[in-house]
């Protein structure tokens, strides 16, 4: 199949030039997007029309993760220094007309990177390590009304300078009823932290992908409890060639490098398409694989930061209000 035989990204006019690094699809038609300047965007009809707005009092917030529950209900997570009032979580239950601030911390060093929910009640959010050198992780079991910290002693030790990238809303992902994974960079090697009990206890594994000051894992996706993929690269050299994807077949315990994508360079998010195909996106373009990453086909060189797919309907978002839809057979 040639790239010309594949569907193309269809640009969407969402009525704002806010930059986006967060998108979540409740189903093929209901999608929520988070962006800069406290902006959110929402469709309930598969992109035929889009509603956009700003969360009151959140002008300084950059919503780097979003979780869509349904047409009416969604969560937004703000990334940025907590001491500057940017570590916040919001929720709407009326389609974005009103937003409730569920959580905020001013603890120095906290910088939220990712958030996800197993179901309507149980969720998790995490931050780069503050002064104690461990991830700052919170969980909720009441739909975000209250959040409990995971004790630092339940977490593995971190490498020097290890942190996460709040780049695509997929540096933390959940699967099933209790599984969760976190992707890291910044240290000496890209690593994946994993928990099978909703974040109570954790283990960590190395991947074959490199890490460094601007390098590491940017996105994860687990397709079931065993099989998942991590993607990454260097955000300062977004077209740099080299290994940028790895696969796990044992729940994240071990990782094997797959072929570098085409186009090469930083990949920030990955999704599963019908027919067990893989789609990955990043600033240098989109790649698709029909053989679990052994080979990649260049889809295009459109730059995106975040990706959400349901049953082959994919939404990709990027800088300056960029939103696109593509439907894969």
Handedness of CA 15, 18, 19, 23 (dihedral sign): negative
Q: Which residues contact 159 (CB under 8 A, 6 or more apart)?
A: 184, 186, 187, 188, 189, 191, 211
What is the CA angle 111-234-328, rounded to 5? Answer: 95
- Structure tokens, 296: 């990649």
pLDDT confidence bin for 131, thresholds 50/70/90: confident
Tens digits of residue pLDDT in 258-307: 999 999 999 999 999 999 999 999 999 999 999 999 999 999 999 999 99
- In this structure, the number of other CB atoms found within 10 A of the CB of residue 46 comes to 16
CB 201 within 8 A of CB 154: yes
- Structure tokens, 263: 């186009």
CA distance 139 to 191: 21
Region 163-174: mean pLDDT is 97
pTM greater than the 0.75 cutoff = yes
Residue 5 has pLDDT above 70, yes or no: no
Region 180-209: mean pLDDT is 98
Residue 151 has pLDDT above 50, yes or no: yes
- Backbone phi and psi for residue 122, each to the nearest 5 degrees, phi listed first: -105, 120
CA distance 325 to 214: 29
Question: Residues of the chain with pLDDT > 70: what percent?
Answer: 98
What is the CA angle 57-60-62, rounded to 5? Answer: 110
Residue 2 has pLDDT above 50, yes or no: no
* C-alpha torsion 11→292→21→128, nearest 10: 180
pLDDT confidence bin for 113, thresholds 50/70/90: very high
Question: What letter would DSSP give residue 15?
Answer: S
Residue 112's DSSP bridge partners are 127
Residue 142's DSSP bridge partners are none
Q: Which residues contact 246 (CB under 8 A, 6 or more apart)?
A: 190, 207, 208, 209, 229, 230, 255, 256, 257, 258
What rounded mean pLDDT belongs to the chain?
96
Question: Residues of the chain with pLDDT > 90: what percent?
Answer: 96
Residue 4 has pLDDT above 50, yes or no: no
Provide the phi-psi class of 170: left if phi over 0, else alpha when psi is between -120 and 50, else beta: alpha
Handedness of CA 61, 32, 223, 285 (dihedral sign): negative
């Amino acid at each position: 199949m040639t790239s010309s035989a594949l569907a193309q990204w269809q640009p969407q006019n969402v009525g704002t030039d806010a930059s986006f690094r967060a998108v979540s699809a409740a189903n093929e038609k209901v999608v929520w997007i988070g962006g800069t300047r406290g902006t959110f965007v929402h469709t309930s009809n598969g992109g035929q029309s889009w509603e956009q707005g700003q969360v009151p009092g959140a002008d300084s917030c950059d919503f780097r993760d979003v979780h869509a529950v349904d047409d009416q209900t969604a969560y937004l997570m703000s990334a940025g220094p907590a001491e500057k009032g940017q570590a916040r979580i919001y929720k709407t239950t009326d389609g974005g007309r009103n937003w409730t601030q569920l959580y905020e911390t001013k603890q120095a060093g906290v910088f939220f990177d990712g958030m996800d929910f197993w179901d309507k009640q149980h969720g998790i959010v995490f931050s780069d390590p503050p002064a104690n050198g461990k991830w700052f992780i919170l969980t909720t079991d009441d739909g975000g009304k209250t959040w409990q910290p995971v004790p630092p002693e339940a977490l593995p030790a971190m490498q020097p300078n290890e942190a996460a990238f709040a780049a695509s809303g997929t540096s933390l992902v959940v699967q099933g009823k209790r599984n969760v994974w976190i992707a890291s960079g910044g240290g000496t090697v890209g690593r994946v932290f994993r928990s099978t009990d909703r974040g109570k206890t954790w283990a960590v594994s190395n991947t074959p992908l490199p890490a460094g000051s601007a390098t590491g894992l940017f996105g994860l996706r687990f397709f079931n409890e065993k099989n998942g993929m991590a993607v990454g690269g260097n955000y300062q050299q977004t077209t740099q060639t080299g290994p940028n994807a790895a696969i796990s077949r044992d729940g994240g315990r071990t990782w094997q490098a797959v072929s570098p994508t085409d186009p090469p360079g930083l990949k920030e998010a990955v999704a599963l398409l019908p027919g067990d195909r893989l789609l990955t996106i990043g600033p240098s373009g989109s790649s698709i694989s029909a053989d679990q990453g052994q080979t990649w086909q260049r889809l295009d060189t459109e730059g995106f930061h975040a990706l959400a797919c349901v049953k082959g309907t994919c939404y990709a978002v990027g800088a300056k209000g960029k939103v696109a839809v593509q439907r894969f057979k």
